[in-house]
Amino acid sequence: MNALTLQIKKDSFQSILKGEQDIEHRYVYPSNVTRYVYFEHDGKRYKRQEDIPNDDKDVDVVPIKYDALVLINGRRKDAPRLTVEVKSAEFIIFTDEDGNDQVFEENGKEYLVCQVWYHLGKILSTDNV
């Protein structure tokens, strides 16, 4: 099983455990991009945006497929954790009120403000809850 381990706040942890929250989202930054997405360009896959050739061809951003999320509430060895099924994932680009893509700058380069949304299924296991 391909699982992604993430830290999560207590309120979100409890909401997922109770079945009240069915989406967990994470911002995608240059520092964590390889955990969440890959890029498809001209039939090839790229792990980082900077590796993509600079041409006029389209680039698709694709969430990495995970079977489950291992969500941990805290950093202690005995912190509550749950493993939840991932039914699907989508890449979301944030836009302003005029529909323009939101961007931020890091090290002189522009990046999109974006998240990956994980659509959650059933709870597969729990520990220390």
Which pLDDT value is given to residue 50?
84
Q: What is the pLDDT of residue 33?
A: 95
In this prediction, residue 91 carries a pLDDT of: 98
**Residues of the chain with confidence (pLDDT) below 70:** none
String of DSSP letters for the chain: --EEEEE--HHHHHHHHTT---EEEEE--TTTHHHHEEEEETTEEESSGGGS--SSS-EEEEEPP-SEEEEESSSSTT--EEEEEEEEEEEEE-B-TTSPBPEEEETTEEEE-EEEEEEEEEEEEEE--
pLDDT, position 49: 84
What local confidence, expressed as pLDDT, does residue 42 receive? 94
